Structure 1
Amino acid sequence: MDDGVSDRELLERARAGDERAFRLLVERHEPAVASVVTAMLGPGDEAEDVGQETFIRFYRSMDRFRGEAALKTYLTRIAINLSRNARKGGSRQAARFPSRDDPESRAEERFLPATEGGEEIERRERERQVRRAIGRLDGKHRAVVVLRMIEGYSTKETAAILEVPQGTVLSRLSRAMRKLEAELEPYVRTE
């Protein structure tokens, strides 16, 4: 059924009751939603629950979706909001992030210099510290880091997802990066 069918067309079919069209939308966008909630909450049951809740909320609000933003943007906005709510209502522990081997962990590369064979233990320790530092950021700063640095959204897209001006995205990202750099300074090699 995918055969290059647009999100807009699948959405119209889903609104008309086509369950296969809705399932295809979920399959198409689930990896991006899962990546966002995992980056916000860490891997585990809570992230899976928030990912599922994202699509439940979308299903319930599908008729109100006007298409002013891309569907991926809309779903990411739902996922970010639900992730923030989960962190407020749940434990206040720092989020656990995927391992460095996970392609979704690109933000860590900024802070992790290339290592050579015998430095694997040091690299893993730096990696662990980066994940912890990102997890300790407050929700609004973590969301910007996740969207811009991990997910690769543009400033404009991030602003649309978070429903804030682009300048706010830039200032939050700048503050978050300063916090991360200060916290991670002992782990960044300057040779």
Structure 2
Amino acid sequence: MLRRRYINATGAFAACAAIAVLVCFSIVAPLNAWKARGLEMRNQALSEIDRTQATIDRLKQQSEILAQNENQEFLWRAEQIGAVTAKIQTVVTASAANNGVSLRSITPLKAKRIATVDAASFRLEFEASLDQVTGFLKEIEYATPALLVEKAQFRQFRKPADDRSQPVLNAQLELIAPIYLEEVVAE
């Protein structure tokens, strides 16, 4: 009888131990796997943050170098956006006049950001012959400070009794010009 109780107690203990081991494997093992996945995802996120921060720091450094280098001829410089807009409009109008292009409108658009600099943006609408448009675009393309054609739309304009050798085009251009607004130091 004593032996039977001992065997029953040992069996009960073994059953409890088996249940504890099963609970351990069914709960603890998945928790450890979940923890390991969480730590791996955290490490990936931290390395992505470090990489992004390094990129931000590099871009800030490039921007500071660009702003400090006043000999960069491709930037339009002025103290205010209105002054730089007027300068750009004057150059575009003169270029159009030099090439016989009839400007209908120059409309300032919302400022943009290109690379590490701000840019003024304009929409031009004009009418000109193909050779005049070609000369105008060349002058804009080689302008210093820079003027960049971001978007262009051309439509051929036909008049009933037109016998010109060059087609007349209605055009719409969107230009961007990299700008740098210089800070005014109060005296």
Fold match (TM-score > 0.5): no
- Give the alignment's TM-score, normalised by structure 1: 0.26
- Give the alignment's TM-score, normalised by structure 2: 0.26
Larger strand share, 1 or 2: 2
Larger helix share, 1 or 2: 1
